[in-house]
């Protein structure tokens, strides 16, 4: 079976990264087509993707017989296609791991919205605001509890889709030096995720690209941070 992954610009496409990581971790061979998500070329290139994928977005995985769109569906496919699933064997733990992945998919991507994935690669980074620190602490309380329960190094002991779904969030929050003093297990988990060969490969490519700047990254005059 052959696979073609339509991915995105390395320093902009966190959703494509999630699908790419799952395929890489499962040692699934695939060809990759990079869709340039910078403006204005993104519009023409995504319109071309829309000719075979209803959302006209990346990632998309094209197989011999079907087209799989949306990062979560591609990750689940990779988990099932590989030799060893990227989910716990226990039914309840499997559902719990899916809960974390779904949290990322349904709302956690909005955590610290001004700390975009693109900002992870900026040469100069600002301090987090008080609100951003509070958002981090809410996430860290959840991950710390999971890591304490399952004894790490990953959220459910061994690497799972939950860790891979959260990897881009780890990258963008970790790049802004959060305070881990109350979250030592989460700090170790960040390090474990960032040390994965697949993650390091993606980041090495992303760091070679021209920065994609967002004006709202910097706080308004007079605001904290």
Q: Structural domain boundaries of the chain?
A: 4-81, 91-206
Q: Which CATH superfamily is domain 4-81 in?
A: Glutaredoxin (3.40.30.10)
101-126 pLDDT per residue, tens: 999 999 898 999 999 999 999 999 99
- pLDDT, position 220: 58
Token pair, residue 166, equals 């959260």
Is the pLDDT score of 224 beyond 90?
no
Query: If DSSP codes are grouped into helix, strand and coil, which group holds residue 33?
Result: strand
β-pairing, 31-35 vs 4-8, is parallel
Is the pLDDT score of 225 beyond 50?
no
Q: How far is CA 98 from the centre of its chain?
A: 15
The residues, ordered by sequence, that sit 6+ positions from 63 with a Cβ below 8 Å of its Cβ are 1, 2, 3
State the average pLDDT over residues 119-139: 96
Percent of the chain with pLDDT over 90: 90
CATH code that applies to domain 91-206: 1.20.1050.10
Mean pLDDT (the chain) is 95
What are the phi and psi torsion angles at 52 (to 5°)? -130, 0
C-alpha to C-alpha distance for 65 and 83, rounded to whole angstroms: 21
C-alpha to C-alpha distance for 185 and 59, rounded to whole angstroms: 31
Is the pLDDT score of 221 beyond 60?
no
149-169 pLDDT per residue, tens: 999 999 999 999 999 999 999
Token pair, residue 80, equals 């099932």
């Amino acid at each position: 079976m052959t696979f073609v992954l339509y991915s995105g610009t390395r320093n902009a496409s966190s959703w494509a990264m999630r699908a790419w990581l799952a395929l890489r971790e499962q040692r699934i061979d695939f060809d990759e087509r990079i869709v340039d998500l910078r403006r204005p070329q993104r519009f023409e290139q995504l319109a071309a993707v829309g000719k075979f994928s209803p959302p006209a977005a990346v990632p998309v995985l094209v197989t011999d017989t079907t087209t799989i769109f949306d990062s979560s569906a591609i990750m689940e496919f990779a988990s099932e296609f590989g030799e060893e699933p990227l989910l716990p064997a226990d039914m309840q733990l499997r559902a719990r791991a899916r809960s974390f992945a779904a949290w990322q998919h349904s709302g956690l991507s909005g955590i610290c919205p001004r700390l975009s994935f693109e900002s992870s690669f900026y040469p100069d980074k600002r301090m987090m605001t008080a609100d951003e620190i509070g958002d981090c602490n809410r996430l860290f309380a959840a991950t710390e509890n999971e890591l304490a329960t399952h004894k790490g190094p990953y959220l459910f002991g061994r690497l799972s889709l939950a860790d891979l779904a959260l990897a881009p969030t780890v990258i963008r929050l970790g790049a802004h030096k959060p305070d881990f003093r109350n979250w030592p297990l989460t700090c170790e988990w960040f390090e474990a995720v960032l040390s994965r060969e697949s993650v390091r490969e993606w980041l090495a490519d992303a760091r070679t690209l021209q920065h994609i700047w967002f004006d709202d990254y910097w706080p308004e005059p007079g605001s904290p941070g």
